[in-house]
Amino acid sequence: MNIVVVGGRGLVGRNIVERLRAEGHEVSAVSRATGVDVITGQGLAECMAGAEVVVDVTNSPTFDDEAAYDFFRTAIDNLLTAEIAAGVRHHLTLSIVGTERLEDSHYLRGKALQDRLIRASGIPFTIVHATQFYEFLVAIIVDAVRDQTVRLSPAYIQPVASDDVAALMASLAVGEPLNGSIEIAGPERERMSELIQRFVIDMEAPCEVRADKAAPYFGAILDERSLVPGAGARQAQTGFQQWLERSEFARARW
C-alpha cells in the first residue's frame, strides 16, 4: 500500500512510518525537511502522486495564539485540495479529545475546524481523537509556570503514551476508512494538577504546582470533563508510571 505520512519526522509520525515500513508498505515520510510545506503548499502535489492513504500528523508550532488557528485552517485546506486532485482514497488524521468543547483556545478551535473540513471534503476519512500525550505534560508545565509556580486546573485528564497512539494509527492506515472518529486514552484518569505535581516531584523540577479552577489551559477554562473521552473510547495499555520509568524524564536533575 502506498502511504504518505505528512509530519513524518515528528514524534508520532516517525513511529507510524517505522511500523508501516516494517509491515512492508511503501511509505513516504514528508515534512518541511523533505521539501513539503503544508502552509505554502510547496511539494504537496508531487508527494501525493500515487498515494492511496494520507496520514496527517502535522502540528502547529504555537499553541496559544491566533497563529495556531491559522496554521490548521491553511494546512488542512492545502492538504485536502492536493488529496482530491491526486485521488487519495483515505485521509487519516490525528486530533484531540475535547476539541469541540474548547472554542476559547485558538489551538483547539483550529483542530475543531480541521475536523469539520475533513468531514465535508468528500474524501473517505478516519479521525483519531487522542487525549494528551505523556510527552506533552512538559509543554503544559512550561505554558503555565510563572515565577516557579505552576497554576493548573484540577480538571480530570487521562493522558496516553504517544507510542500507543502511533500503533493505533498505523493499524487504521491499512484498514478501511471509518468515515467517522475514534477516541483513545490512557488507562488512568487523574486530576491534571495532581498528576503534574507527581511529575514535577519525580523530575525534581524547581517549581510548585497549585490547583486553580480559573487557570487557563492554552486559553480555555476547563470543567471536570473537558479533556476526558466519552464512553466507548479505546483504552491504551501504558500507564503513567510505566511510561515515566522508561522515558528521558525519569530521575532527571533540573
Predicted pLDDT of residue 201: 87
Give CA–CA dist 218/102, Å, rounded: 10
Task: Inform me whether the pLDDT recorded for 225 exceeds 60.
Answer: yes
Ramachandran category for residue 118: left, alpha or beta (phi over 0 → left; psi -120 to 50 → alpha): alpha
Helices 192-203 and 137-144: crossing angle in degrees, nearest 10, is 100
The distance of Cα 92 from the centroid of its chain, to the nearest Å, equals 12
**What share of residues in the chain are helix, strand, coil (percent, to 5)?**
40, 20, 40
**Dist. CA 234–CA 77, nearest whole Å:** 29
- Residue pair 4/48 in contact (Cβ under 8 Å)? The answer is yes
All domains in the chain, ordered by first residue = 2-245 (3.40.50.720)
Please give the grid coordinates belonging to residue 230: 466519552
pLDDT digits (tens, 9 = 90+) for 100-123: 888 888 999 999 999 999 999 999
pLDDT at 156 over 70: yes
